[in-house]
Amino acid sequence: MGHSHAEIDRHIKIYLMVFGALLVLTAATVGAWKLHFLPATPAIALALIIASVKASLVALFFMHLNAENKAIYWVLALTMLFFFVLLLTPFLAAMDVISL
Amino acid sequence: MLVPHIVKPRPDTGLTNGKFGIWLFLASEVMLFGALFATYLMLRVGATDWPLGTTYLDPKWATLNTAVLITSSVTMVMAWAMSAKRDFAKFRFFMLLTVALGFCFMIIKYIEYSAKFDHHYYPSTHVFLAIYFTLTGLHGLHVLGGMAVNAYLALFGKKLYDKDPEWFTNRVENSGLFWHFVDLVWIFLFPILYLL
Amino acid sequence: MSDGHHEELSFWRKYVFSTDHKVIGIQYCVTGLAFLFFGFCLMMLMRWQLAYPGKAIPIIGGLFGDARAPGGIMLPDFYNELGAMHGTIMVFLGVVPLAVGGFGNFVLPLQIGAPDMAFPKLNMLSYWSLFVGGVVMFSSFFLEGGAAQSGWTSYAPLSNIAPSGQTAWLIGMIFLITSSLLGSVNFIVTTVQLRAKGLSMFRMSIFCWAQFVTSFLLLLAFPPLEAAGVLQLMDRLADTSFFMPDGLVISGEVLDRSGGGSPLLWQHLFWFLAHPEVYVLILPALGIVGEIIANNTRKPLWGYRTIIYSLIFLGFMSFIVWAHHMYMTGMGSVLATFFQTTTMIISIPSVIILTALLLSLWGGSIRFNTPMLFALAFLPMFGIGGLTGLPLGLSAPDIALHDTYYVIGHFHYVVAPGTIFALFAGIYYWYPKATGRMMSETLGKLHFWPSLLFINGVFFPMLIQGLNGVSRRLADGGATYDFAGAVGPLNKMMSWSAWGLALAQIPFIINFFLSLKTGKEAGDNPWNATTVEWASPSPPPHGNFATEPVVYRGPYEYSVPGSDIDFIPQTKEG
């Protein structure tokens, strides 16, 4: 990628903002966990949602996925699909067992 | 140079070989960690009582490690940005900082592991500890791998940088992609293992 | 392409640690063929035990020592060892290295007009990772307690408590998986990035498409098995209990483990790979057969785009059918229904491809040379293999057929007279490109006809035995098993066919080596083929093409009306 210096300086500003956001979100995860203000299931959901937001920030800005090539989006979409298949099916299998 | 599209992207795909290759590799890594997360889920769903992370683990160290790894991700993009601005000295500074933070992460991990062993918590003690040690161990190996590549680029990269800074910057970007991915995995490991 | 000057490489860099895709491709081919031969030898020993249970193995029986075969009589543990390693070696060290590593490496870059693979050093690393994996697998036979003996599927918890050969199996597998992963990244990048000018995706040959889809299967399906391998290693070395349920009793004693694991987890992770793996074995074969049929019917392939879409759909679906291997694990009806449905759906693109290949023969003036004979035999053999699979994909018939010889017959029809015949076809077809010389047609036919006869003699009776309920896991071939009474004598027929099949390979081995010296000079394009690899010299030099090839047309322009010759190469202008 050919980047002009001004463009990179703009990037750096964004990186620092993302850095701040990541630290705040980490604090939020730990804070929510410490205060125990939610019952177990919503607490798990909240922690996973925050983690997903953090991961998205890393992927979008640090890994430049906000402006990436079409081919890479395709590969990643396919991967994420199979990732969720892999993640869900053993889970479903444990739920759907013949009981004698 | 025998193989085309190493430095300049292929016009119709808009990609360099290295970048496409590293993303494909990361796709396979997603499936590798995916299988381990699936393992975690299956064990947890099948368990009669699943221990809270805090039964065995101390989130204090892990919180610190999260901060360390996130910081190292920022220094990594800074290193890339400096290389893109053709400032090798600053690139080297940020890259070595990234490696140092990786080292820091491993030290904290070591402290954590030793504390577990002192309490006689081993992988064989409980399936929770088994998956904890496997996931964090494999993640640790990835950190070490990333550190090795980053250290190589910082210490021995000058030659390629002088020859073709764009090629070099591509390499920094690709090794950065790997490093951010390692960070990304940790972002999920942290709440799943320690907090939930 | 090349800068005009080549530094002279040392012998080691040129032939052993080479980064040239052609050398690596040939290394893969030779390694794959050697392991196919070795795996075949293991099977021939098993066939002795099945045909003549309890009788001493003749001539070589004394070689195996008292621990394995006292007095030359095979012990059941030794039989299990042979079975597990036969499966593992044939699949992971025989067919995959040959079909993907060998043909993929040698043919794919040539066929897309590339100077080499995208990452030549990584390519070398893939091969050597495979090599190390092969060495580990092979040397596990010499460990105390022998090689792995829990089947090629290594089902836990049996595999968890097996002797140390299983640890070697896992370490070997991790090397083999790493090799395939690195290779698949390389193939995908090469296909996308290094296609010659003018070679759009829909001008690419069926073979390249097949390799492309295969690479995605390897890339995304192999990592879960790598993870599973790591978990089983932990179970074996660090005493964890990933696959160990609570309160497991072994030989009357409760095992001293924490428990809490799930044996089913192994099966899910294993089959998440191993079902796509079946398509890894079959897709390159379909690609090879497609090339050879188009070339020897002198006609364009019927339904080129349809075949490609089917390949892609097949690859996609192969990820969501894996649990049809697991109907007997207590799976509930909801999940079973889902996997039966996807399994029935995946048979559709397979049938489309097979039909398209069959229809391609219609009205062609077929050249019956050796590659074509193997390719033609592939079609009905793969057909039998595929159709016998349908009852296994439905849970009700699967309850009866699961773990019988019917299953063995079914998948061997797919892989042996299917894939391996296609691989033979490919060897006869591309040998002239790799060596510059033709293989002998006479020896080729002497190889083909007996092979076709004997291979059916091996596998067809298995279907009959299986339908009669003979279990696949019997170390005595059913001699002590009531069900097997009526169909037991078929064992002798199968065994003699297997040994006959071995003899039928002798002409091939002679042909393979002799033709290097005495084969007829091939020239650049001995088959009058259209695809790009035939535009390079035979054998192609380092860098492949004298001038950068440019592609002007689709891959199968045979017998174009109005043209004075019956083929127009892809690289021909105008």
pLDDT in tens, A32-64: 888 877 787 888 899 999 999 999 999 999 999
Side chain identity, residue C103: F
**Cβ within 8 Å, pair B127-C219:** no
Number of domains in chain A: 1
Domain B58-195: CATH superfamily, name plus number: Cytochrome c oxidase, subunit III, four-helix bundle (1.20.120.80)
**Cβ within 8 Å, pair B45-A3:** no
Decide if C255 touches B, using CB distance below 8 A.
no
**Is the bond preceding C157 in cis, omega lying within 30 degrees of 0?**
yes
Task: Give the pTM.
Answer: 0.95
DSSP state of C254: E
Domain around C443:
13-244+260-523
Name chain C contacts of B19, Cβ cutoff 8 Å.
Answer: none
Query: Other CB atoms closer than 10 Å to residue A78's CB: what's the count?
Result: 17
Reported confidence tier of residue A24, pLDDT bands at 50, 70, 90: very high
3-class DSSP state of C471: strand
DSSP state of C559: S
Spatial CA neighbour of C420 closest among C310, C501, C479, C356: C501
Q: Which of B31, B70, B176 sits opposite A79 (nearest CB)?
A: B31
Which of B8, B17, B19 best probes binding to C when mutated, by most C CB atoms within 10 angstroms? B17
**Cβ within 8 Å, pair B70-A86:** no
| Owner of token pair 């012990």 | C75
Distance from CA of C335 to the nearest CA of A (A): 7
Instruction: Using alpha carbons, list the distances in angstroms from residue C485 to C79, C466, C490, C545.
Output: 21, 13, 10, 62
Side chain identity, residue C315: G
Q: Indicate if the alpha-carbon torsion angle A25, A31, A32, A37 is positive or negative.
A: negative
pLDDT at residue number C3? 44
Name chain B contacts of C220, Cβ cutoff 8 Å.
Answer: 27-28, 31
Side chain identity, residue A11: H
**Cβ within 8 Å, pair B43-C192:** no
Residue C504 lies in a domain: yes
CB-based contact C279:C353 (threshold 8 Å):
no
Q: CA C467, CA C541: separation in Å to the nearest integer?
A: 53
Residue C119 lies in a domain: yes
pLDDT at residue number B48? 84
Q: What average pLDDT does this structure show over A73-81?
A: 96
The token duo for C467 is 């339908």
Side chain identity, residue C497: S
| Beta carbon pairs, A and B, within 8 Å | 124
Number of domains in chain C: 1
Q: CA C169, CA C85: separation in Å to the nearest integer?
A: 9
Name chain B contacts of A44, Cβ cutoff 8 Å.
Answer: 196
pLDDT at residue number C106? 97
Per DSSP, the residues of C485-543 read: GTTTTHHHHHHHHHHHHHHHTHHHHHHHHHHHHHSPB--S-TT---SGGGGS-SS--TT
Nearest CA in chain C to B36: C227
Length of chain B: 196
Spatial CA neighbour of C149 closest among C562, A52, C158: C158
How far apart are the two ends of chain B, measured CA to CA in Å?
Answer: 52
Q: Indicate if the alpha-carbon torsion angle C287, C293, C296, C300 is positive or negative.
A: negative
Q: At what angle do helices C441-467 and C370-393 cross, to 10 degrees?
A: 10
Per DSSP, the residues of C159-218 read: GGGS-THHHHHHHHHHHHHHHHHHHHHHHHHHHHH-PPBT--GGGS-HHHHHHHHHHHHH
Side chain identity, residue C145: G
CB-based contact C414:C386 (threshold 8 Å):
yes
Q: Which of A78, A86, A96 sits opposite C331 (nearest CB)?
A: A96
pLDDT at residue number C4? 44
Per DSSP, the residues of chain B read: --SSSSSSPPTTT---HHHHHHHHHHHHHHHHHHHHHHHHHHHHHH-SSPPPHHHH--HHHHHHHHHHHHHHHHHHHHHHHHHHTT-HHHHHHHHHHHHHHHHHHHHHHHHHHHHHHHTT--TTT-HHHHHHHHHHHHHHHHHHHHHHHHHHHHHH-HHHHHH-HHHHHHHHHHHHHHHHHHHHHHHHHIIIIII-
Q: What does the mean pLDDT of chain B come to?
A: 94
Side chain identity, residue C235: D
Nearest CA in chain A to B47: A94
pLDDT exceeds 80 at position B64: yes
CB proximity under 8 Å: A 5-64 to B: 5, 8, 11-12, 15-16, 18-19, 22-23, 26, 29-30, 33, 43-44, 47-48, 50-51, 54-55, 58-59, 62-64
pLDDT at residue number A38? 76
Q: Which of A30, A33, A69 sits opposite B14 (nearest CB)?
A: A69
Q: CA C251, CA C262: separation in Å to the nearest integer?
A: 20
Spatial CA neighbour of B186 closest among B27, B33, B31, B28: B33
Residues near C54 by beta carbon (within 8 Å), at least 6 away in sequence: C73, C476, C479
Domain around A59:
5-95
Phi, psi angle pair for B8, to nearest 5°:
-95, 140
pLDDT in tens, B141-190: 999 999 999 999 999 999 999 999 999 999 999 999 999 999 999 999 99
pLDDT at residue number A2? 54
Q: CA C184, CA C220: separation in Å to the nearest integer?
A: 10
| Kind plus residue range of the DSSP H or E element containing C428 | helix C421-435
CB-based contact B127:C235 (threshold 8 Å):
no
pLDDT digit string (tens) for chain C, length 574 residues:
344 445 677 888 888 899 999 999 999 999 999 999 999 999 999 999 999 999 999 999 889 999 999 999 999 999 999 999 999 999 999 999 999 999 999 999 999 999 999 999 999 999 999 999 999 999 999 998 899 999 999 999 999 999 999 999 999 999 999 999 999 999 999 999 999 999 999 999 999 999 999 999 999 999 999 999 999 999 999 999 999 998 899 889 988 888 889 999 999 999 999 999 999 999 999 999 999 999 999 999 999 999 999 999 999 999 999 999 999 988 888 889 999 999 999 999 999 999 999 999 999 989 999 999 999 999 999 999 999 999 999 999 999 999 999 999 999 999 999 999 999 999 999 999 999 999 999 999 999 999 999 999 999 999 999 999 999 999 988 888 887 888 989 999 999 999 999 999 999 999 999 999 999 999 999 999 999 999 999 999 988 998 899 999 999 999 999 999 999 999 998 7
pLDDT at residue number A99? 67
Spatial CA neighbour of C550 closest among C539, C535, C540, C560: C535
Q: What average pLDDT does this structure show over B3-26?
A: 93
pLDDT at residue number C103? 97
Residue C66 lies in a domain: yes
- What are the domain boundaries of chain B? 58-195
Q: CA C241, CA C231: separation in Å to the nearest integer?
A: 9
| Kind plus residue range of the DSSP H or E element containing C253 | strand C253-254
Name chain B contacts of C261, Cβ cutoff 8 Å.
Answer: 43, 127, 130
Q: What is the 3-state secondary structure (H, E, C) of C266-322?
A: HHHHHHHHHHHHHHHHHHHHHHHHHHHHHHHHCCCCCCHHHHHHHHHHHHHHHHHCH
- In DSSP terms, which residues pair with A97 in a beta bridge? C331
Residues near B134 by beta carbon (within 8 Å), at least 6 away in sequence: B36, B123, C230, C231, C234, C240
ipTM associated with this complex: 0.95
pLDDT at residue number A37? 75
Residue A100 lies in a domain: no
Q: Return the CATH number at C310.
A: 1.20.210.10
Q: At what angle do helices C76-88 and C165-193 cross, to 10 degrees?
A: 10
